Structure 1
């Protein structure tokens, strides 16, 4: 075993390699803007080398760094009046903390919700009066609670339940609060409740039918008009995510009729005057935008390049701003006016290579894989199977610095939207029940078999890697498919499922109970079958693991248990522990981690025959 302390070689003289430039080049998120002061915006950038919040006055052009923390800050909300920036203050990435706020133009931070103890965040909605907020909280002791917090008044609890719940939205006039909850015990499928500020119920909507039917709902937002009781929600009644308008005062539900016009998953948000919806359409790992007029029911395309729109917002002037990228082209914030909205100065991000779409038959159906070939290298390629986290997430034709770095070093990259991924219908996402991990690996194995049998991948140089759930699948795959992989690289993984369950944050315990059908004490055989620790003695390949010591999602103790078992049998492995949570917001740290992974692969992967 080698225990890494995180030190890296001194930077060589000469030009910086492209893979490192992709991490260091300044990036910006899609700017959020204040509902009643649209010239005031809030965005995230890594311009200083750490991801932090920035205020932007569009009238003067002034941009100001709001937060200054060693481990970075990305969770922030701009109040509707544009006067305050709220940001979540945790300790070294542990996600447990309190909301603070700062004046838009600068000044001292203050505790935003005095009287509320630290917790995990579970949603936040700020009232247009600037003094009221609806604060969602999660703790091991209390489960989920939601409070109305008003300046000068003690916080008032309006909701409590042991199962996971969170704040959906606050109506424009502040009289209605939408809550997403899982009181029925299925953490993958929320029901909705709308309450008044005193906590009394106005309306309920529950598509789970008591948990017997696996259908979920989500809040997309109240209409941005005073006195308007329309709530835009997402539903899965047609087997995928679609929006509908629910009038919570009358109970009337208005289907938008989009199912026959667009394949794939749909989400939406209101245009600022409430007359139309900005619809985001995701299908087969790419996305696009549409404008839906509620009066005429007309759907009109909002022109975007082919690739992935990872965020979009309609502005008061009718224009749309969106964050776009493709696998080959770095992200940029664009506007339908034709302008680039934010173009940070400094180092420019190099591009990469485009993806190819591959469909492979697996035991569960057709699996979509995104494939990239290194430039100037002939096959069969040494191949990195980069497995996404979630599991309710999906890889898309979007820019990613990590895969691009492997490509620069001569590796092919394959990313797989296994069962459990979003974007391919409700049945595909919900397929993980009870045989957790093993189902995903059936799909990954099918793609691996295609890659080898087609001559694309070199069977003697196959790397299985991923972060979070992808790291979990990496360790599980190395143990259950020991002859399939040459080496494994797992970042912030689940390694010992039972210990992970007992140590993780409460919301993830609820998710695990849903996936596995109970607690480790209630269904021990399922936890055992799905835990990488069960198969650790079968692992043959060298293993590299990185982990944040403050991680509340994949806690460090369960990783230490797995590493101790590897060490006990003398297995080849290396471990890197770093002072952060579930990943790092520090650019130098991200570069360091990838450099260590590349070095591990170079040392343990046999040269081409």
Structure 2
């Protein structure tokens, strides 16, 4: 699955293995191409659009086939019944949740909702499926349960009430759940089968992270120090909620609880830290307070999960748009690489028998769920999607250091009409994985450039945090550096350029059209931040807290900083035609602030079009995703000839 898909709610995936070599702490992820929602018809622009030149039928069929080919996610399994698994698939054309009994090889669809279902997990005994039910993609809802073998859905925790999810931990004796609303965060704890109660309330950001194997300890993250980007950890005894340990690494250094040891009675906690300027690992004995840092000779960020016997860690290494897997022996202190093809491992887990299963793809080859030693574990029915195109690496000098970019060329000789597809997040990255949207632009004749600007993950903490206090403008300096280098190289035709992205990438698109109008021939902004002051007022509280940390305060405190980074500020300078794609129920980039920007374009007679769909910050229905890509390609072809 693509990294541009909507973010999975915290705690929703409770795999016993690596939480994924994908980055954590995503803020506003771009909309997904293996996902969608029910849409309304295109809203007319202020001027009637000229019909787009038609792509050859075989080209259209090829790019659409990449979206329609069914996919499956890496299966999670029940800790005490590993033959019982849960996974997501879009085999029906909508992303839904499925269970799989490996002993009988029987698969069953669990959820069936018009707008899809993104998150599910299993109880430790495998008897119950828990899945999150929101409304029309607004991410606000409740946890539901259904028997593994099938049966009615019931509200799992009626006492908790609807909210944004902030973690779910299902134990054998206890369960813990986090919820977030505009009033802040609440964390709940209770006995399995009983009624939970609130044990922690804060106006800031907090989340449930992990239960120990014996259910005696619970760890949660909080931001009482004032910056949710760099959480602190607190460990409580579940029996009496007494404090066991509390730790924080200080300003600019986050701690991330990954998982407790899978061995009964072993209360060691695997933690991610960034004490040396990148994501690394330590093991924290919460009873004694002893910390053991695991210093691995790897250049990029690492995350990990336990092997089931607790003797080793399955390590995911993420660096320069690609990832690798390793086995780290805790006794011998040795690191052994697991052989996987060059590309991206989206997530991996160690099975009870010691085998490793993973989700892998690269830019040319579609995703596959396979074992590290080769065999396919789980495949969707139907034909594989068509192959795509390889990426080329570019390292370009930028104002904050060398910028890593990825380039895909169409057939023929340059300079090319070029689409700069900028990623969301901002704490994310573009990588060497299979992307149907990228391939669609190349099929249409465009070169594609991805820029892992300052703010991206996979290049160290300093690079990730460099946009603090000046978001948007910082990233666009790096985009400009790559743009100029590729123009000088003869790859990019400066008279035929598109700036496009979703979520934070949509924000950068609108901001770039206003601050760099001389560079862009057209812009396509999907679910963007467009008016930052209004966005702050309407977005979910967790994002307001993130914004306060990113900008240095609230709009009341640092008003000019928000104005400086708001696309609405620069609307007078916009020269290129722009397409805006907006979700009516989006809690991350709300619709009112987008309407404010569109009204400003109208008032100034700026050429623009808008496509609205009746959902949230992303899509889980494949045909809707295809409609959105059709609209984007039509707009691109009308304004930038490949």
Question: Structure 2: where are the runs of 5+ without partners?
Answer: 1-41, 46-50
The answer to which of 285-294 and 74-83 deviates more is 74-83
Distance across 2 between alignment mates of 1:496 and 1:28: 37
For residues 59-113 of structure 1, give each alpha carbon's deviation from its aligned partner in whole angstroms, at most 9, with x where no partner exists.
1111111110100011111111111110111110101110001111111001111
Matches within 5 A, 1:41-80: 41-80=85-124
Contact kept, 8 Å, 2:100 with 2:108, in 1: the verdict is yes
- Give the C-alpha shift of residue 257 in structure 1: 2.4
Contact kept, 8 Å, 1:219 with 1:234, in 2: the verdict is yes
Matched, 1:3 2:43: yes
Matched, 1:207 2:249: yes
Matches within 5 A, 1:337-348: 337-348=373-384
Change (3 A) 1:109 1:415: same
Distance across 2 between alignment mates of 1:360 and 1:82: 50
- Give the C-alpha shift of residue 337 in structure 1: 4.0
Task: Give the one of 399, 402, 414 matched to 1:366.
Answer: 402
- Give the C-alpha shift of residue 149 in structure 1: 3.6
- Give the C-alpha shift of residue 318 in structure 1: 0.8
Change (3 A) 1:580 1:11: farther
Give 3-state SS (helix, strand or coil) of 2:490's partner.
coil
Task: Give the one of 598, 603, 611 matched to 1:576.
Answer: 611
Q: Which residue number in structure 2 is paired with residue 413 of structure 1? A: 448
Contact kept, 8 Å, 2:172 with 2:192, in 1: the verdict is no
Q: Which residue number in structure 2 is paired with residue 159 of structure 1? A: 200
Contact kept, 8 Å, 2:339 with 2:373, in 1: the verdict is no
Q: Which residue number in structure 1 is paired with residue 325 of structure 2? A: 289
Distance across 2 between alignment mates of 1:379 and 1:256: 47
Task: Give the one of 187, 197, 215 matched to 1:146.
Answer: 187
Distance across 2 between alignment mates of 1:36 and 1:303: 29
Q: Which residue number in structure 2 is paired with residue 81 of structure 1? A: 125
Task: Give the one of 321, 324, 344 matched to 2:357.
Answer: 321
Distance across 1 between alignment mates of 2:438 and 2:58: 24
Distance across 1 between alignment mates of 2:227 and 2:475: 20
Q: Which residue number in structure 2 is paired with residue 180 of structure 1? A: 221
Give 3-state SS (helix, strand or coil) of 2:196's partner.
strand
Distance across 2 between alignment mates of 1:487 and 1:104: 50
Give 3-state SS (helix, strand or coil) of 2:225's partner.
coil
- Give the C-alpha shift of residue 150 in structure 1: 3.4
- CA RMSD of the aligned region, Å? 1.8
- Give the C-alpha shift of residue 12 in structure 1: 10
Contact kept, 8 Å, 2:59 with 2:444, in 1: the verdict is no
Distance across 2 between alignment mates of 1:37 and 1:571: 59
- Give the C-alpha shift of residue 377 in structure 1: 2.3
Q: Which residue number in structure 1 is paired with residue 551 of structure 2? A: 516
Task: Give the one of 472, 475, 478 matched to 1:437.
Answer: 472
Distance across 1 between alignment mates of 2:604 and 2:293: 59
Give 3-state SS (helix, strand or coil) of 1:413's partner.
strand
Matches within 5 A, 1:460-499: 460-499=495-534
Matched, 1:192 2:230: no
For residues 130-162 of structure 1, give each alpha carbon's deviation from its aligned partner in whole angstroms, at most 9, with x where no partner exists.
xx3200110112x11110143553321111111
**How many positions carry a matched residue from both structures?**
595
Contact kept, 8 Å, 1:36 with 1:82, in 2: the verdict is yes
Question: Structure 1: where are the runs of 5+ without partners?
Answer: none
The answer to which of 415-424 and 8-17 deviates more is 8-17
- Give the C-alpha shift of residue 490 in structure 1: 0.3
Matched, 1:351 2:381: no
- Give the C-alpha shift of residue 336 in structure 1: 2.6
For residues 543-571 of structure 1, give each alpha carbon's deviation from its aligned partner in whole angstroms, at most 9, with x where no partner exists.
00001100000000000000000011111
Contact kept, 8 Å, 1:387 with 1:466, in 2: the verdict is yes
Matched, 1:264 2:328: no
Task: Give the one of 161, 165, 171 matched to 1:121.
Answer: 165
Q: Which residue number in structure 2 is paired with residue 540 of structure 1? A: 575
Contact kept, 8 Å, 1:377 with 1:410, in 2: the verdict is no
Matched, 1:93 2:93: no
Give 3-state SS (helix, strand or coil) of 2:596's partner.
helix
- Give the C-alpha shift of residue 227 in structure 1: 1.3
Task: Give the one of 334, 344, 361 matched to 2:370.
Answer: 334
Matches within 5 A, 1:24-35: 24-35=68-79
Matches within 5 A, 1:557-568: 557-568=592-603
Distance across 2 between alignment mates of 1:75 and 1:88: 6
- Give the C-alpha shift of residue 283 in structure 1: 1.1
Give 3-state SS (helix, strand or coil) of 2:627's partner.
helix
Distance across 2 between alignment mates of 1:371 and 1:33: 38
The answer to which of 105-114 and 151-160 deviates more is 151-160
Give 3-state SS (helix, strand or coil) of 2:466's partner.
helix
Distance across 1 between alignment mates of 2:154 and 2:627: 34
- Give the C-alpha shift of residue 391 in structure 1: 0.3
Q: Which residue number in structure 2 is paired with residue 240 of structure 1? A: 278
Change (3 A) 1:59 1:153: closer
Q: Which residue number in structure 2 is paired with residue 428 of structure 1? A: 463
Structure 1-normalised TM-score?
Answer: 0.95
Distance across 1 between alignment mates of 2:58 and 2:481: 43
- Give the C-alpha shift of residue 517 in structure 1: 0.7
Contact kept, 8 Å, 1:494 with 1:559, in 2: the verdict is yes
Distance across 2 between alignment mates of 1:507 and 1:58: 38
Give 3-state SS (helix, strand or coil) of 1:346's partner.
coil
Distance across 2 between alignment mates of 1:301 and 1:451: 35
Give 3-state SS (helix, strand or coil) of 2:630's partner.
helix
- Give the C-alpha shift of residue 453 in structure 1: 1.3
Distance across 2 between alignment mates of 1:354 and 1:574: 32
Q: Which residue number in structure 2 is paired with residue 595 of structure 1? A: 630
Give 3-state SS (helix, strand or coil) of 1:432's partner.
coil
